[in-house]
Structure 1
Amino acid sequence: MIRLDNISKHNGQRVIFIEASAALLKGEKVGLVGPNGAGKSTLFRMITKQEEPDEGNVLTDRGVTIGFFSQDVGEMSGHSAVAEVMNGAGAVSEVAAELAELEAAMADPERMDELDSIIERFGEVQSRFEDLGGYALDGKAREVLHGLGFTQEMMDGDVSLLSGGWKMRVALGRILLMKPDVMLLDEPSNHLDLESLIWLEQFLAGYDGALLMTSHDRAFMNRIINKVIEIDGGNLTTFSGNYEFYEEQRALNEKHQQAQFERQQAMLAKEINFIERFKARASHAAQVQSRVKKLDKIDRVEPPKRRQAMSFEFAPAPRSGDVVVNIQDVDKRYGSRTIYDGLDLMIRRRERCCIMGVNGAGKSTLLKLVTGTTEPDSGTVTVGSNVKIGYFAQHAMDLLDGDRTVFEMLEYTFPQANQGALRSLAGGFGFSGDEVEKSCRVLSGGEKARLVMALMLFDPPNFLVLDEPTNHLDMATKEMLITALADYDGTMLFVSHDRHFLAALSNRVLEVTPEGVHQYGGGYTEYVARTGQEAPGLH
């Protein structure tokens, strides 16, 4: 359906693609992977003709419809969320818009003299709307928005009043309702809670068109894709299978290439040694010449490219008391809405509690109560002895000083630390070389999240409170964080919609419901086995 034929692309001095080829065939569900900045978004833009390759061709079969979801959703205003989603459905959305205009005209007292002609036109347009399946479309649009977490009130409300994250969901809903022949989805799993993520997973698994997508959520990627296209060093390499298979195959390929490289290096060393020993002897001149020619003709095996792995190790945190937080008889309301009523909860040292609950259940509120950033209406929240809290809040990235560079931010926060320690901290969180001189203002969401974590973890707290810590993080950073936190000997309380992160780190589950907090011993994996569901809202 789509073919990339020997494409080359440069951005200034930087080579993005060099004679790269790949194909997306009918019914394939392909994950596009590669390090940040490798060219994934550029590839999407070339397929959608927003950019052209410098050389080679991007070929799309005649008549193929393409739906493209990107993080740049554009302006949305003047419609309800459901109308905005229906706008992506082609001709029927134009007819729906005219129908809405005619309905308004019929109710306009200043146009009463035109009423007969308006009613006649309304009948024609309504008939056309029915023929195009318009009334069914409204139901389908609502079904999609419900799956993406919208309430009826939000569906019918003004789309311009929604936050950026909810507008992203509207833009995604538009593509899903359109059901094009090919879907291009750039990070569709961002901004989704666990329930919406699982719904999207099931929707895409049942979608019979071709799919090309990027995602930093490995569980999501694993369950949908049947092929991987990797961008690395300007090349496109295709692997059959899901993300897990790709990782195994890539590691195996690297191992084989390393073994080939080492064998060839040993052979070359032996030949060079012979040439050096005998090049001055006339009796061996023919053999020396023969070996020199042989060496010139050998295709050299390159060593495998090593992805720069980030790693961070916690310094030992001071030991806290056995009771880290004790919540007794806490009430919390926002206006007329009760979030907690008589909540009792104790968190003990070295517990790793993940908080589950549908949107609006009070997950972030619980973290705020524990960290003292919000007060209970009644009851007590007591933090235990020697407890030092590190809190990663969703707004933490907005608090970085845009005028400082990454390194200046580290120096400002830790004035007593030596430069070597700070450089090694920056490197552990992916800021190597000149990247430490980047201004905080120009950092991407993922870079900001990494910097905030570096600031929080350098002088380690013994109680980590994390609200969606993996939002904006790529897979490599998530893996680094999971590895580091697996060895952390403090206590954790966290909210996350990343199932890999939840399963790897939790040893207790707190499920927030309207009836109170249900507690489950064992981690997320045990919770899924016990309840038969991956998220609370899937009852």
Structure 2
Amino acid sequence: MIRLESIGKQNGQQIIFIEASAALQKGEKVGLVGPNGAGKTTLFRLITGEDLPDEGQVSVDRGTTIGYFSQDVGDMKGRSAVSEVMDGAGPVSAIAAELKELETALGDPDRADEMEELITRYGEVQGRFEELDGYALDGRAREVLDGLGFSQEMMEGDVGALSGGWKMRVALARILLMRPDVMLLDEPSNHLDIESLIWLESFLKGYDGALLMTSHDREFMNRIVGKIVEIDGGTLTSYSGDYEFYQQQRALAEKQQQAQFERQQAMLAKEVAFIERFKARASHAAQVQSRVKKLDKIERVEPPKRRQTVQFEFQPAPRSGEDVATLKNVHVRYGNKTIYEGLDFQVRRKERWCVMGVNGAGKSTLLKLVAGATQPNEGTVVVGGTVKMGYFAQHAMELLDGDETIFESLEGSFPQAGQGSLRALAGCFGFSGDDVEKRCRFLSGGEKARLVMAKMLYDPPNFLVLDEPTNHLDIATKEMLISALAQYEGTMLFVSHDRHFLAALSNRVLELTPDGVHNYGGGYTEYVASTGQEAPGLRG
């Protein structure tokens, strides 16, 4: 359906693609992977025709419809969420709009002389609308919005009043309702909670078109794709299988290439040693010349490209007392809405609680109460005297000073630390070389999250309270963070929609439901096994 043949692309000084080729076949579900800045979004833009290659060609089969979801959703306002979604459904939405205009015209006494033509046209348009299953469109749009977590009230409300994250969901719903031949989804799992994520997973599994997507959620990708296309060093390499299989194949290919490189280096060293030893002897001149020619003709094996993966290691945190946080008879109300009524909850040393609950259940509120960022209407929240807390929430990213560079921001937080130590810290969180001179105002959401995380973990607290810490983080940074937190000796209380993060780090689950609060003694994996569901309100 879509072919990229020997494409070349350069943006300013940066070479994005060199003779890169790949294809997307009918019905294939493909994951697009590669380091940040490798060219994933550029590839989407080349396929949609928003950008053109400098060399080679991108061909799309005639008549193929493409739906492209990107992180740049544009301006949305003045219409309900459901109308905005229906508007993306292709030809049927244009016909629905004409049908509405004709209905208005038919009831307009000033247009009585046009009545015959209007009735004829109305019959034609209505027939076409029925052919395209238009009357089911409103219901289908609501079904998609419901799957993505919208309440009826939000569906009917002005889309302009929604936050950026919810507008993203509207833009995604438009593409899903359109059901094009090919879906290009750039990070569709960002901004989704775990329930919406699982619904989207199921929707995409049942979608019979071709899919090319990027995602920082490896579990999500694993469950959907059957092929991986990797962008690295300007080339495109295809691997059959899911993300897990791709990782294994890539590691195997690297190992083989390294062995081949080492064998060739040993052979070359022998040849060079022979030439050096005998080049001055006339009796060996012919042999020396023959070996020099042989060396010139040998095609050199390159060593495998090394992905920079820096591990972060925690300094030992000071030990806290056994009682880390205690909530007794806590009541929280916002206006007429009751979030908690008599909540009792205790966090003890070395426990790692993940908090589960549907939207509005009070997950972030619980973390804010423990962190002291909000107060209960009634009841008490007591944090142990020897507890040193680190609280990560999305708003923390907005508190960075836009005029400071990354390095200045780290230096301001840790004036006693040496330059080398701070550069090493920056490197662990993906800021190497000149990156540390970037001003905070120019950082992406992911870069801000990494910087805030670096500042929080350098001088380690013994109690980490983390609200969606992996939002915006790419797979490599997430892996680094999971592996670092697995070694962490302190206590944790966190909310996350990333199932890999939940399974790897939790040893307790607190589930907030309309029926009350439930505790599970094991971690997320045990929670899934005992409840038969991956998230509250979903039956598996």
TM-score w.r.t. structure 1 length? 0.97
Q: Which amino acid aligns with 1:327?
A: L
Query: SS in structure 2 opposite 1:537?
Result: coil
Cα 1:155–1:270 change in 2 (3 A) is: same
Q: What is the CA distance between 1:395 and its match in structure 2?
A: 1.0
Query: Which residue does the alignment assign to 1:407?
Result: 407
Q: Which amino acid aligns with 2:144?
A: V
Cα 1:146–1:117 change in 2 (3 A) is: farther
Q: Which amino acid aligns with 1:393?
A: A
Where do residues 306-317 of structure 1 align in structure 2 (5 Å cutoff)? 306-317=306-317
Q: What is the CA distance between 1:155 and its match in structure 2?
A: 0.9
8 Å contact from structure 1 (residues 406, 439) kept in 2:
yes
Q: What is the CA distance between 1:118 and its match in structure 2?
A: 7.9
Cα 1:93–1:278 change in 2 (3 A) is: same
Cα 1:324–1:118 change in 2 (3 A) is: farther
Which piece of structure 1 moves more, 92-101 or 153-162? 92-101
Cα 1:182–1:336 change in 2 (3 A) is: same
Is 1:298 the counterpart of 2:325? The answer is no
Q: What is the CA distance between 1:403 and its match in structure 2?
A: 0.6
Q: Which amino acid aligns with 2:74?
A: G
Q: Which amino acid aligns with 2:146?
A: H
Query: Which residue does the alignment assign to 2:167?
Result: 167
Which piece of structure 1 moves more, 296-305 or 120-129? 120-129
Q: What is the CA distance between 1:204 and its match in structure 2?
A: 0.5
Query: Which residue does the alignment assign to 1:256?
Result: 256
Where do residues 30-109 of structure 1 align in structure 2 (5 Å cutoff)? 30-101=30-101
Query: Which residue does the alignment assign to 2:152?
Result: 152
Where do residues 266-285 of structure 1 align in structure 2 (5 Å cutoff)? 266-285=266-285
Where do residues 107-256 of structure 1 align in structure 2 (5 Å cutoff)? 113-114=110-111, 124=123, 126=126, 128-256=128-256
Query: SS in structure 1 opposite 2:237?
Result: strand
**Distance (whole Å) between structure 1 residues aligned to residue 174 and residue 115 of structure 2:** 30
Which piece of structure 1 moves more, 85-94 or 95-104? 95-104
Q: Which amino acid aligns with 2:7?
A: I
8 Å contact from structure 1 (residues 352, 491) kept in 2:
yes
**Distance (whole Å) between structure 1 residues aligned to residue 415 and residue 445 of structure 2:** 25
Q: What is the CA distance between 1:295 and its match in structure 2?
A: 1.0
Where do residues 327-346 of structure 1 align in structure 2 (5 Å cutoff)? 327-346=327-346
Is 1:423 the counterpart of 2:445? The answer is no
**Distance (whole Å) between structure 2 residues aligned to residue 497 and residue 76 of structure 1:** 26
Superimposed CA distance per residue, residues 338-363 of structure 1 (whole angstroms, 9 cap, x where no aligned partner): 10010001100011100000111100
**Distance (whole Å) between structure 2 residues aligned to residue 253 and residue 131 of structure 1:** 51
8 Å contact from structure 1 (residues 341, 516) kept in 2:
no
Query: SS in structure 1 opposite 2:464?
Result: strand
Where do residues 5-16 of structure 1 align in structure 2 (5 Å cutoff)? 5-16=5-16
Query: SS in structure 1 opposite 2:313?
Result: coil
Percent of counterpart pairs with the same letter? Answer: 76
Query: SS in structure 1 opposite 2:75?
Result: coil
Cα 1:244–1:118 change in 2 (3 A) is: farther
Q: Which amino acid aligns with 1:130?
A: E
**Distance (whole Å) between structure 1 residues aligned to residue 128 and residue 207 of structure 2:** 27
**Distance (whole Å) between structure 1 residues aligned to residue 451 and residue 277 of structure 2:** 55
Cα 1:277–1:504 change in 2 (3 A) is: same
Q: What is the CA distance between 1:113 and its match in structure 2?
A: 4.3
**Distance (whole Å) between structure 2 residues aligned to residue 372 and residue 116 of structure 1:** 71
Q: What is the CA distance between 1:515 and its match in structure 2?
A: 2.5
Q: Which amino acid aligns with 1:345?
A: F
**Distance (whole Å) between structure 1 residues aligned to residue 529 and residue 470 of structure 2:** 24
Q: Which amino acid aligns with 1:178?
A: M
Q: What is the CA distance between 1:523 and its match in structure 2?
A: 0.6
**Distance (whole Å) between structure 2 residues aligned to residue 510 and residue 189 of structure 1:** 24
Cα 1:35–1:238 change in 2 (3 A) is: same
* Unaligned 5+ runs, structure 2: none
**Distance (whole Å) between structure 1 residues aligned to residue 102 and residue 160 of structure 2:** 23
Which piece of structure 1 moves more, 277-286 or 51-60? 277-286
Superimposed CA distance per residue, residues 317-342 of structure 1 (whole angstroms, 9 cap, x where no aligned partner): 00000010011010001111110010
8 Å contact from structure 1 (residues 310, 477) kept in 2:
no
Superimposed CA distance per residue, residues 494-527 of structure 1 (whole angstroms, 9 cap, x where no aligned partner): 0000000000000000001123221001110110
Query: Which residue does the alignment assign to 1:462?
Result: 462
8 Å contact from structure 2 (residues 31, 228) kept in 1:
yes
Query: Which residue does the alignment assign to 1:502?
Result: 502
Superimposed CA distance per residue, residues 146-181 of structure 1 (whole angstroms, 9 cap, x where no aligned partner): 111111111111111111111111111111111111
8 Å contact from structure 1 (residues 326, 381) kept in 2:
yes
Query: Which residue does the alignment assign to 2:479?
Result: 479
Which piece of structure 1 moves more, 125-134 or 518-527? 125-134
**Distance (whole Å) between structure 2 residues aligned to residue 207 and residue 106 of structure 1:** 39
**Distance (whole Å) between structure 2 residues aligned to residue 24 and residue 130 of structure 1:** 32
Cα 1:137–1:270 change in 2 (3 A) is: same
Which piece of structure 1 moves more, 160-169 or 115-124? 115-124
**Distance (whole Å) between structure 2 residues aligned to residue 409 and residue 132 of structure 1:** 56
**Distance (whole Å) between structure 2 residues aligned to residue 37 and residue 427 of structure 1:** 17
Is 1:326 the counterpart of 2:336? The answer is no
Which piece of structure 1 moves more, 24-33 or 83-92? 83-92
Is 1:21 the counterpart of 2:21? The answer is yes
Cα 1:116–1:161 change in 2 (3 A) is: farther
Q: What is the CA distance between 1:91 and its match in structure 2?
A: 2.2
**Distance (whole Å) between structure 2 residues aligned to residue 427 and residue 5 of structure 1:** 36
8 Å contact from structure 1 (residues 410, 455) kept in 2:
yes
Which piece of structure 1 moves more, 400-409 or 98-107? 98-107
Q: What is the CA distance between 1:282 and its match in structure 2?
A: 1.7
8 Å contact from structure 1 (residues 340, 516) kept in 2:
no
Superimposed CA distance per residue, residues 34-91 of structure 1 (whole angstroms, 9 cap, x where no aligned partner): 0000000000000000000000000001111111000011111221111111111122
Q: Which amino acid aligns with 2:52?
A: E
Query: SS in structure 1 opposite 2:146?
Result: helix
**Distance (whole Å) between structure 1 residues aligned to residue 102 and residue 333 of structure 2:** 44
Q: What is the CA distance between 1:130 and its match in structure 2?
A: 3.5
Q: Which amino acid aligns with 1:204?
A: L
Query: SS in structure 2 opposite 1:88?
Result: coil
Instruction: Indicate the RMSD between aligned Cα atoms, in angstroms.
Output: 1.6
**Distance (whole Å) between structure 2 residues aligned to residue 470 and residue 438 of structure 1:** 22
**Distance (whole Å) between structure 1 residues aligned to residue 132 and residue 346 of structure 2:** 58
Q: Which amino acid aligns with 2:226?
A: N
**Distance (whole Å) between structure 2 residues aligned to residue 304 and residue 131 of structure 1:** 55
Q: What is the CA distance between 1:127 and its match in structure 2?
A: 5.4
TM-score w.r.t. structure 2 length? 0.96
